[in-house]
Each structure stands twice: as structure tokens, then as C-alpha cells.
Amino acid sequence: MKPTLWQRLSAEAAGTFMVTVVAIGVDILYFTGHQVEDVSRWLARGFVAAAAIFAFSAISGAHLNPAVTFGFALRGVFPWSRAGAYAVAQFAGAFGATGLAYLLYGPLLKFGASHPGPGFGAGVAATCECVLTAMTMLVILATAREEAVVGKDAALAIGFSIAACGFCAGAISGASMNPARTVPPQLLSGQVSLVWIYVIGPLAGAAIGVGAHWLTFGGPKRAERKAARGSENG
């Protein structure tokens, strides 16, 4: 049966909770010296993203990221009228994850919020977020075009992409690429001045990724609509 809107929103909230609580947790352990190596840090993010996409793609499309929802809507394969509800659900899941992290780690939560690395300014970090999100959005859209890798099978490529972005540029910006994953812990830990980096950067990057995909592959295909909307095909 076709999922209801509430089921889709619940899937987005649950999936975003998963990716956020893991990202916050591994960052806190990494920055406080609890034997989490750089490789493990980024693989954990890629693995949980792949797992969440595999689990929820058939229900909601498993965007799990307001920037991805924005990109799908800009591409014309997801309705703008539903994009706002998806973003609210994603932030709800992320705030829930942040609240849990605060209960577990207290003031150490500040280490779980993405921030520019030592020696890198806000502008450089925002540019990095833009470029990384553009690459990830391009991977998401490119795999969505192929009938053989729609939804669950695309999870592997997307998880690899997220991990690779962390390996190559995590030291610059924290490789968030996801406003929902980053803004809640920033707000709850008082790092309000950094919020714009992790909102403008990913949204701009998603738009660039959509443009690059259009130049490379042309107009939308049915498979993209199926990937963006989950079980709904229309």
C-alpha cells in the first residue's frame, strides 16, 4: 500500500535521527580522545547514511537532509508543496537526536556540532560545504536516474560519497552537508554564529549539483521521481 504522508514524515524524522545521533556521537568521541580514529569517524557516517537510506527509501525516498529535499524539488521530481513538511520532519528528528546527545554527553555536545577546522575561516568552510554537497547531490541524482539502483541499491553509492567527502575535506568544515544534522547541535551548544555556514553552503551546493546534473544528463526521468518520492510513482 502507498504510505500516507504521516508515514513518510515519520520515516524522514527517524532516518534523520539516526544519521544525526551517530554523527554527533562519533564527533564527540573523536574530539575528546576516546579512541575514535579519523577513518572510523567518516566510515560511521557513511555506514549509517547507507543503512537509513536502505531502511526508509521505499517509504519516503529517504532524503534525510533538507538540502537533498531542496535539490529534488529544484530538479522538478519532488513537489515543493511537500518539501517544507519534509524539512520540518528532518529537523524534528535531528533535534530529538541532539536532545538525546545532550542527555548523554552534557556540555560535550559542543564537540558534536560541525565547525571550521583550525586555520580555516568561515568563508572557506562555507565554500567547502557547497562543493561537497554539490558532489553528493550529483551522486544522488545520477544514481536515481538508473532503474537498477533506485532507492535501496543507491544507498551504497551515497554512503561511499559521504564517507569520501569526510576523508578529503572533513578537516576544513566538518563535512556536514546537512543543515538538519548540524544546526540543532550548534543552537543547543550556543554556536549560533556558525549556523549560516551550514545552511547557505549545503543549499547552494545542492543547487549547483542539480545544475551540473542537468548539463550532464538532461531533463528528469521517471526513475528520479520514483527515487525522490519513495513508493509513490506520480
How many Cβ atoms sit within 10 Å of the Cβ of residue 32? 12
Q: pLDDT tens, 112-156?
A: 999 999 999 999 999 999 999 999 999 999 988 665 444 566 888
Q: pLDDT tens, 65-80?
A: 999 999 999 999 999 9
Q: For the whole model, what pTM was predicted?
A: 0.94
Amino acid at 206: A
Closest CA to 66 of 119, 108, 120, 20: 20
**The C-alpha cell of 205 is what?**
551546493
Give yes or no for a contact between 24 and 112, defined as CB atoms under 8 angstroms apart: yes
Q: How far is CA 37 from CA 30, 50, 68, 129, in A?
A: 7, 20, 28, 22
Phi (first) and psi of residue 98, to 5 degrees: -65, -40
- All structural domains of the chain, each given as residue ranges with its CATH number in brackets, are 5-229 (1.20.1080.10)
